[in-house]
Every structure is written in structure tokens, then in C-alpha cells.
Amino acid sequence: MRIYIAGPYSAPPLAGRAHNIEVAIAAGVAIIQAGHTLFIPQLSHYVHEFALTEDQETPYQKWLALDMEWLRLCDAILMLGKSPGANLELDAAKRIGLKIFWRWDDIPHVCDGSCHDRP
């Protein structure tokens, strides 16, 4: 199953943002271990920060549009928490009929972890 990880990203200061990214990554590791594929939009943070150093800021609405493109390719969404962006992602997931998980423990395991070694 392809699972989109939604949750808070923006937070002041930068340490708050880093914490939100780490929570999303931890969820991603659990999803991989359960045998699924994932998309972590919070990792776009690194692209955003790099672009800022190149004086090429990407508007918030563009990031949301990019995330929605990925969301449409997924089978499910994992909601790690609410935020303005995550709430929009949840609404879109409901409209397109994605399965919604509220905790990563609720995501079914499809392998014991060893199936990731297959070619």
C-alpha cells in the first residue's frame, strides 16, 4: 500500500520544525517495516531550505499543489496531527476515497521486514 504521511510541518523555531520532520520520519520507518511504500512531504523541508539559499523561494501554495499530486497516487493517508496543510490533505484524502489511519500502529503489516531484501 502507498501511504502518504500528513501532519504538522511549520513551527517556530527551526527546532520545532525539525521535531515535526523527525516524527514523520519515524512514522515512515514504521511503514517501511510493515512492508508498505511511503511518501513523506515533510522531507521537502530540505528542498525548500536549499532553494532559499539560492534565492529561489517556492510559495506555500505551490508546495500544497505538489503534495496533492503525490497524495492522489497513494492508497492511504496517515494523519500524525492537525495543521492547516494536514487538514487540507485529510479533506482531499476523504474526497478521493483514501483509507485513513490515525496511528501508525493501525497500519497492517504485510511482511516481517525480510521481504524488503527481494529484488
Q: Is residue 8 part of a domain?
A: yes
Q: Is residue 119 part of a domain?
A: no
Residue holding cell 539560492? 54
Q: Is residue 117 part of a domain?
A: no
Domain with 19 in it: 2-110
Mean pLDDT over the full length of the chain: 86
pTM of the model: 0.83
Q: Kindly indicate the confidence band of residue 119, based on its pLDDT and cuts at 50, 70 and 90.
A: very low
Q: Is residue 78 part of a domain?
A: yes
Which CATH number is 32's domain given?
A: 3.40.50.10400
Burial class (CB in 10 A: 0-12, 13-18, 19+), 97: exposed
Burial class (CB in 10 A: 0-12, 13-18, 19+), 8: buried
Q: Is residue 16 part of a domain?
A: yes
Q: Is residue 88 part of a domain?
A: yes
Convert the pLDDT of each residue in 8-66 to its tens digit.
877 666 666 889 999 999 999 999 999 999 999 988 877 777 777 777 777 888 888 99
Give the residue with greater pLDDT, 48 vs 112.
48
Q: How many domains does the chain have?
A: 1
